[in-house]
Structures are given as structure tokens and as C-alpha cells.
Amino acid sequence: MRILSRSDFPTSGEHLAYQRDDFWGESSLQHAPFVAERGLDLLALREPMRLYTGSVSEAAQAFPANVNVAAAVALAGIGPMRTQYELWADPTVKRNTHSMRVDAAESTFEVNVAGVPSKTNPATGALTPLSTIATLRGLVSPFRVGT
């Protein structure tokens, strides 16, 4: 997937960007600085718990291993200080979900992605290593099909 950036199209107004992540494997959040500092036991959760709301920039410090999608979206869009972010530990979801909404003068859109957590590292998706391999192959391949 290609994320459109600010430089891809002219804009006539302000953008409002928001992202919410729901993590299925609460253990993937258990060692985050934010959780450790507060002594939270996420493995004991029985219902969803909002852990954080604020900017992506601050979330990256509190949850450095968990906000890579939010950081990529923020960097491609209005920036990590202006992109609003929520992070939830949710024992009721079966997949790590990323919900993004953009409101701009030109359009409004939402994207929802529900990825299967990696069996060996629940902080990342099972698709991540495959995507990394495809990216590396694309960097060295002399032949490319599509865009």
C-alpha cells in the first residue's frame, strides 16, 4: 500500500488526522515504558482499556515498540505532533487493528486494517516480515511490474 503524502497533492485547508490501535496480544504492550511505569497488568484485563490518547510523537516515547504504523501515517501526513492517537489494550479483539481517519477540506476517509499478530512477536503483525522481504527484493531487483 502506498500512503499519500502532503507532497502528492495540493491542499486548500487544514487536515485533521486520527488513528486508533487496538492490540489483541496485550503481552505485546506489557513491557512498554508507559505500562511499566504505572505497574499495569494488561494480562489480567477482561475488557478493553484505553492506555493512551494524545499525539503520535508522545506515544512513540511511551510505546516505542507499538506505534510504527501510527508513526508512518503521521510522517506521511500532517506530522507526529498534530496527528492524534489512541492506543487500547483489548482482550476482546482477535487481531491487532489500526483505524485511521482523515478529515480535510478536499475529502474525508477512513481506513481499517486488522492484522494477524506474529506468533513469535505479538507486538508486530505476521505480514511485517513478508513486507520487509518484498521491500528488500524491490530495492535490488532490476525488474518491476506495476507501480
Q: Give me the residue label for grid cell 502506498.
A: 2
Per-residue pLDDT, 16: 58
Query: Which of the residues 78, 98, 117, 124 is marked catalytic?
Result: 98
User: Above 80 in pLDDT, residue 23?
Assistant: no
C-alpha cell at 59: 506515544
pLDDT in tens, 96-146: 888 888 887 788 888 888 888 888 877 778 888 888 898 898 888 877 776
Higher-confidence position of 123 and 51: 51
Q: pTM for the full model?
A: 0.73
Give the pLDDT mean for 1-18: 49
Per-residue pLDDT, 35: 92
Higher-confidence position of 31 and 27: 31
Evaluated on CA atoms 77, 79, 85, 91, the torsion sign reads: positive
98 in catalytic set = yes
Q: Which domains does the chain have, with CATH numbers?
A: 14-140 (3.30.360.10)
Rounded Cα distance between 8 and 112, Å, is: 22
Question: Where residue 37 falls among pLDDT bands split at 50, 70, 90?
Answer: very high
Higher-confidence position of 114 and 28: 114
